[in-house]
Structure 1
């Protein structure tokens, strides 16, 4: 039972956090955000601090992930947990001395 409790804690430590604001009218589509994920995590952008606009969206990374898969997973969590409910979200990742803060804003209502 203890290992089960630990697994729940470990999984929650890597959950996305959604923005508090919602209702912006100038947002990228769900499919467009998955295309942005493909572009960002499918290149080397996951490995260094950077920001890029994707239509009305803005993607920012502080730090770096240790692999493209970590980027794919974090970006997907932001989309899956926040899209359609909030204007964006963040994902914090920390493992084996590496850390990343991924911020995905679906909208241009900044």
Structure 2
């Protein structure tokens, strides 16, 4: 059972894919990105396809998550894995027939 739990953690820990480019100077910092996550996933924006800006950042969802928690987790994975060294990232989520592609561009120079 412990091996199985570890495997689930390992898979979820690498769910985000960072952009290949990095080094833009017009990017939101981690605090701002976490505020964007709170505003985005704390509203109903996780539940339908849409896009919008947050300072220099751009956020878009194609499809929809089945809960705010799924949005929170995906957004956090992108920030934790990509912020500070890449200009953004994506997170693909599929569960029980629902799917969402979350794309968070941290910078205005892409």
Q: Which residue of 1 aligns with 2:102?
A: 102
**Ranges in structure 2 where 5+ consecutive residues have no aligned partner:** none
Q: Which residue of 2 aligns with 1:8?
A: 7
Q: Give the 5 Å matches for 1:84-103.
A: 84-103=84-103
- Let me know the Cα RMSD of the aligned residues: 1.8
1:12 shift after superposition: 2.0
Q: Which residue of 1 aligns with 2:50?
A: 50
Q: Which residue of 2 aligns with 1:78?
A: 78
Query: Which TM-score applies when normalising by structure 1?
Result: 0.91
**Ranges in structure 1 where 5+ consecutive residues have no aligned partner:** none
Query: Which TM-score applies when normalising by structure 2?
Result: 0.91
1:7 shift after superposition: 5.7
Partner SS state of residue 25, structure 2:
coil
